[in-house]
Amino acid sequence: MKSSHASAFPAHHTFDVAELRKDFPVLHQKAYGKPLVYFDNAATSQKPSSVIHALSEYYSTTNANIHRGVHYLSQKASQAFDDVRAKVQQFIHAGSEKEIIFVRGTTEGINLVAATFGRMSVSAGDEILVSAMEHHSNIVPWQLLCEEKKAVLKVIPMSDEGVLDMEAYISLLSSRTRLVSVVHTSNSLGTINPVKDMIRLAHQKGIPVLVDAAQAVVHEPIDVQDLDCDFLAFSGHKMLGPTGVGVLYGKLDHLEKMPPYQGGGEMIHSVSFAKTTFNEVPYKFEAGTPNIADVIALGVAIDYLQSMDRSAALNHELGLMEYASLELSKINGLRLIGTSTNKSAVVSFVIDGLNALDVGMYLDTLGIAVRTGHHCTEPVMQRMGIPGTIRASFMFYNTYQEVEQLITGVKKAIELLK
């Protein structure tokens, strides 16, 4: 841990946070009479005005169903929707627009793969490999599949610091492993996993890999071709976009072999009572009227991210994380949970003798929004021997002054609650 956030990350002096904050209306309000400090970004990010405006603009000027109508509004909506697929392809460097499937979020993306690719690939006695730090949405779909197929879910262990045991991972890859599904960046620990190496090692044995990138795409560039992952899922709402929309990337050869996930309109080529033939990829996986407005707004969120100096934004976020970690670790009785040397902008901690929920509720009275509990990673908490943590997660629009308010608030909570 570096002792000076200023010297460690000089870029924050030229990274104009104050100017960027003007783009986020929700940040300019008070909670319980105190200026809002929003440190729950790993749960959902705030939205810039351009994204909010895109939603209003669509419903005010364009609202129509897509890909079916010949009239002006339908054509306009269809073009706006289709443009986002190309935008996402470029954002994650996919090889084809056909490899981009719109879903409700990371959870639906993983469930789609489990219900299609998983069902066609996994048999009794086969194994699916996940890590000890997975979100519930990257555990439960595989448990359901294993129960159905009488397969085995195996877990890559992690250290006390929250780092995956790569030797154990290598030993777990076997002739019975049909899929590895692993989180890129832990939402509860902040650990950034060596997913590129993990994919390479799995591919050496012909094992496909799914990456949960929900916590990664907003903070760093993702290149699916460089990673060589077979599938990758992420959610719009964690990367400045709306809720209810996300993306599943899949290699085209996989997608073309997979059966449909749901049946209905759009995913069909022709229907008769005798037989239905299915549409081409990606439409085969997008049954029914899509979430048109939110897909369009997701495209605007991507535009916003791409317009920024993302390297400077990342440096700023990491500077906040390191400063918060350093100062919080000086507090007697406070213990950081998740201390990997390769971390995202997340600080999780516990305080001896205090319930995380009580601390979170007290911080809320100061206008400071943090997350408390198990963060949908109960196995992580079980591994660490704790019921839950207090988690502060940072975004480029957060400031060092806000971090100082958090540190002061934690100290006050200890004085008042102990």
Residue 273 phi/psi, 5-degree rounding, is: -70, -20
Please tell me the number of Cα atoms within 13 Å of 286 on its side-chain side. 27
Cα(359)–Cα(363) distance, rounded to whole angstroms?
6
Strands (E), 150-236: 152-156, 177-183, 209-212, 231-235
Q: State yes or no: is 146 an active-site residue.
A: no
H helices present in 93-206, as ranges: 106-113, 119-121, 140-149, 166-172, 195-203
Cα(371)–Cα(19) distance, rounded to whole angstroms?
26
- Which one is catalytic: 52, 331, 376, 386? 376
Cα(413)–Cα(364) distance, rounded to whole angstroms?
11
Whether 304 and 50 have beta carbons less than 8 Å apart is answered as yes
For CA atoms 184, 195, 337, 131, give the dihedral sign.
positive
For CA atoms 72, 78, 79, 81, give the dihedral sign.
positive
- The DSSP line for 132-156 is TT--GGGTHHHHHHHHHHT-EEEEE
- Supply 211's token pair: 């990456």
CA distances from 146 to 128, 143, 173, 248 (A): 8, 5, 17, 22
For CA atoms 110, 340, 318, 90, give the dihedral sign.
negative
Cα(96)–Cα(224) distance, rounded to whole angstroms?
11
Whether 27 and 38 have beta carbons less than 8 Å apart is answered as yes
Strands (E), 55-119: 100-103
Q: Which residues are catalytic?
A: 376
